[in-house]
A and B are shown apart, each in its own frame.
Chain A
Amino acid sequence: MTISENLFENLRLELRRGCLTLAVLAQLRQEFYGYTLRKALAERGLEIDESTLYPLLRRLEAQGLLLSEWREEDKRNKRFYRLSKDGEQIFDQLLEEWTAINAAIQAILDRDASQNEAEQVASSRAAGEAGESTTITAQ
């Protein structure tokens, strides 16, 4: 892996880390056990490794954001998770924060795009005027 690839990978992981927590909290407004939660997230376009998701669930539960329960399903004991009361509150706050960050980044990108567009229009107009004056001079 080159230095730039390594750097990108580190930054990507950093960016994903917070988003994954938000996505898991969002998904666990409905009850899931580990594997079905992973599948549900993957179906919505968010692939998460087993070694990331399952410890994350434990951590969020230890922080009081999730509740868990062992229950038998399809002749197998499984640990089901769902959002706790505190989890719901924190999730709402995080969602608000994430929406604000998203909106801010979008606004920055939109402004840059409109500036680029204006610069392009100005330069093409200048090029057009220069072409006209050359034609007039030639005539």
Chain B
Amino acid sequence: MEPLDRYLQSVKKHLPWQRQEDIVAELRANLESQLEDREAALGRPLTPAEAEAWIKSLGSPLEMAAPYQPQQYLIGPAVFPTYRQVLKLACTWGLIIYCISTAVQLMAASVPSADELVWAFLRLPMVLIQIAAWCTLVFAAFEFAVAHRYVDVSKLGPFCHNWPPVGLPPLDVAGGAPGGKKPRSFAQAVAEAVFAFLGLVWLLLLPRHHWLIFGPGAAYLDNSPYRLSPLLVSFYWCVIAVNVVQIGLHIENLWHGRWQRASGWQRIVRQVLALVPLVPVFAIPGHAFILLKHPAEDAARLGPTLDAFNDGVYKFVLFISAITVLQLLWTLGRTGMNAYRRRVAA
């Protein structure tokens, strides 16, 4: 029967090559027996339309052949949860490392051009795709090794049947810090407020008592040919203001009995505040944080060293700012994600 022959020929193309002939021979025997039964029941051969309908009822050649293929996964259900976890971690750390290394590279170029910034941004998706591809490749190789029994998955750490329950993370306590950390005690919260206040006093005393920061070196600095830029006064007062706000937050938490855990918005406020004093630092023209007391006399001798020092300070501040911004973005992302999860769960 021609339609059956054509059907089996198509099925054969989708079968594993080692067993094609054997499977097709068996299918032919079974289907021909079925055809004979049908024709015997009708008392006549099937019409072309009936034959076509019967062949159609068997399913497409691919549908018929697919179950004969061995079950294959690129990454199977046993390995997939670990793969997903590792992929998330690798992409997150890849993003952080890329941002920091790019910031350092751009800083090295002293004044990064807009083109460099755009290229740095456009390269990011490709970096993430490469990280994901390598992760997938490693896990696909692992899955292959597991499927072919080169590796016994039941003896490996995360899959081990004999895993130690003692290694489970501590329980999240209601009102406790996220991630099962111990909630802050009242004594600890009071101590933090007291030390913040003492820190503020120390800062306020600094302009008149340099020894509080430089120790015995203060006498040398007073007589040195260097002085701080007067524009750093704005930085100083920003630091004072930030400390005052921090103390205010400590007192507010103690007053309302919320010392056990810092709320999400407070963490964000603290990280934004940490960026505020950096604004006047970047506004200093020519990054001249340290100046010469007598530029006319010392410029030729000390000028180049001082420029190199000021440039180093500028890059360091830039690096710190990049880390602080990343921390802020991370906190914003986590707070947003937690809020979304809470809303969905509700």
Residue positions of A touching B, CB distance < 8 A: 33-36, 38-39, 49-52, 54-56, 58, 76-79
Contact = CB atoms under 8 A, between A and B. Distances in A.
B68 A35 contact: no
A51 B32 contact: no
- Identify whether the interface residues of A are mostly helix, strand, loop, or mixed: helix
Contacts, number: 49
Contacts of B31: 35, 50
B306 interface: no
Task: Identify whether the interface residues of B are mostly helix, strand, loop, or mixed.
Answer: helix
A51 B23 CA distance: 12
A35 B25 contact: no
Interface of B: 19, 23, 25-27, 29-34, 37, 58-59, 63-64, 66-68
A55 B30 contact: no
A80 B93 CA distance: 58
Contacts of A54: 26-27, 30
Nearest to A59: B67
B33 A58 contact: no
26 contacts: A33-B29, A33-B30, A34-B30, A35-B30, A35-B34, A36-B33, A39-B37, A50-B27, A50-B59, A50-B64, A51-B63, A51-B64, A51-B67, A54-B26, A54-B27, A55-B67, A55-B68, A56-B67, A58-B68, A76-B32, A76-B33, A77-B29, A78-B26, A78-B29, A78-B33, A79-B25
B29 A76 contact: yes
A35 B28 CA distance: 10
B29 A50 contact: no
A69 to B, nearest CB: 12
A50 B60 CA distance: 12
Contacts of B68: 55, 58
A56 B23 CA distance: 12
**Which one of B23, B26, B68 has the highest number of Cβ atoms from chain A below 10 Å of its Cβ?**
B26
B272 to A, nearest CB: 45
A79 B64 contact: no
CB-based closest 4 A-B pairs:
A55-B67, A34-B30, A35-B30, A35-B33
